[in-house]
A and B are shown apart, each in its own frame.
Chain A
C-alpha cells in the first residue's frame, strides 16, 4: 500500500470548514483513498473513501486531485465534536481490509 503524508496538527474555528490535506504521490491506479478518524482514544471511525472522483456523504467531502497524488478531506461545518485525529489511508480493495495507519492529523476545533 502506498505511503501517505499528513500535517501533524491543524486548528479550525467552530462552524468553519476544516480542510485536511493528504499527499499520496506513490498511489497506484487500483488504490483507493480512505479517511478514518479517532476521537479521544475511541475506536477509529470510517468517514469516506474514493478512487478518483470526488465523493460526498453526510459526514464529509473528499476531493482527489486529477493526478491522484493528493486529496483533501473537507468537514463543511466543523463542530467541537469533530476534534480528533484524522487518518488518510491508501489501499487496494482486496480481501481483508488491512488498514495501515500513519501518524494522522490532530484536528482541533476551537470555539
Chain B
C-alpha cells in the first residue's frame, strides 16, 4: 500500500525516443508534483497540478508534458529525449494550502538517455 508510487523505477532509452513515467497516489491528496534531480543532486520542481489543473510550470522545455487524468494520477511524458534529460524524476503529492501537512514523495524514476 505504497503512498506515492512511480513506474518504472528505471528507464534506459535512446536519444530521440518518447517515454512516459506514471505516478499514482492513494493518500487522497488533491495536488501532485514532478521534481527533477540532476547528476549534481539538485532537486528542482518542474510541475504541479491541483485537481487536474496545471498550477506550476517552472520553465521546463515543452518536450515535457504532464497529464493528470484524475486527482490521484500525474503522468509525465517526454518527447524527443536528449542526453541532458538523464536524471532522477520524483513524483510527490500533498494537500492544497493546508498548514499541517507535508509532501510525500515517490521512490523516483532513474532515467538514462544514451
Q: Chain A: residues with CB nearer than 8 A to chain B?
A: 32, 34, 38, 41-46, 49, 85, 87, 93-101, 103
Contacts and interface: CB of A to CB of B under 8 A. Distances in A.
Contacts of B102: 34, 46, 49, 97
Interface of B: 4, 31, 33, 35, 41-45, 48, 50, 55-56, 88, 90, 92, 94, 96-99, 101-108
- Per DSSP, are chain A's interface residues mostly helix, strand or loop, or mixed? loop
Contact of B92 (A43, A93, A100, A103): A43
- Per DSSP, are chain B's interface residues mostly helix, strand or loop, or mixed? strand
Contact of B48 (A42, A43, A98, A100): A98
Contacts of A97: 31, 33, 94, 101-103
27 contacts: A34-B102, A41-B108, A42-B107, A42-B108, A43-B107, A43-B108, A44-B92, A44-B105, A46-B104, A49-B102, A93-B97, A93-B99, A95-B50, A95-B96, A96-B31, A96-B94, A97-B31, A97-B94, A97-B101, A97-B102, A98-B33, A98-B45, A99-B43, A99-B45, A99-B103, A100-B45, A103-B42
Q: Across the A-B interface, give the 7 residue pairs with the lowest CB-CB distance, nearest first.
A: A43-B105, A46-B102, A101-B43, A96-B48, A97-B94, A97-B103, A44-B105
A6 B59 CA distance: 26
